[in-house]
């Protein structure tokens, strides 16, 4: 997700891509500094954390939704561009009639990720249907 989002932003806005998402960048910079501080306080190695490593799923969703149908102004043959719409629209059984329906999978993906990743939900696990959903999302991007 990160790779596609960053490449598309750079193709859409050139050198100004960071300014286009500056409010998200500010939050990511804050998260990066907080991570450095946390590592320091826990006695871990202090290393630089690039702000683009601090995107969360909702940041990606916000960007995808905002630029869903946007195409570069100076599109040429060397600038092969696939819209966010084309890359991130996945039908999860409700059709693709709107932006919200087309990217609804991101919210479901995030809820499953949260279920799996967070300490408070360790006793809960994904069921077979949820795993199949995640496999279908994976295959959308990697097959």
- Residue-wise pLDDT tens digits, 21-62: 999 999 999 999 999 999 999 999 888 889 999 999 999 999
Full DSSP string of 15-52: GGHHHHTHHHHHHHHHHHHHHHHHHHHTTPPP----GG
Which pLDDT band, with edges at 50, 70 and 90, does 127 fall under? confident
Q: Answer whether residue 78 shows pLDDT above 70.
A: no
Mean pLDDT of 84-101: 93
Q: Nearest to residue 110, comparing CAs of 63, 143, 61?
A: 61
Q: Answer whether residue 120 shows pLDDT above 60.
A: no
- Please state, in angstroms and as integers, the Cα–Cα distance from residue 6 to each residue in 14, 102, 133, 135, following that order: 11, 20, 25, 23
pLDDT recorded at residue 27: 98
């Amino acid at each position: 997700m990160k790779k596609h989002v960053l490449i598309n932003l750079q193709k859409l806005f050139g050198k100004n891509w960071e300014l286009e998402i500056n409010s998200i960048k500010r939050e990511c910079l804050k998260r990066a500094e907080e991570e450095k501080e946390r590592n320091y306080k826990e006695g871990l190695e202090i290393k630089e954390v690039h702000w683009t490593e601090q995107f969360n799923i909702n940041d990606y969703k916000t960007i995808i939704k905002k630029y869903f149908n946007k195409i570069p102004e100076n599109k040429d043959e060397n600038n092969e561009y696939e819209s966010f719409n084309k890359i991130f629209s996945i039908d999860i059984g409700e059709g693709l009639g709107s932006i919200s329906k087309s990217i609804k999978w991101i919210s479901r993906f995030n809820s499953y990720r949260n279920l799996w990743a967070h300490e408070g939900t360790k006793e809960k696990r994904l069921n077979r249907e949820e795993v199949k959903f995640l496999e279908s999302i994976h295959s959308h991007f990697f097959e």
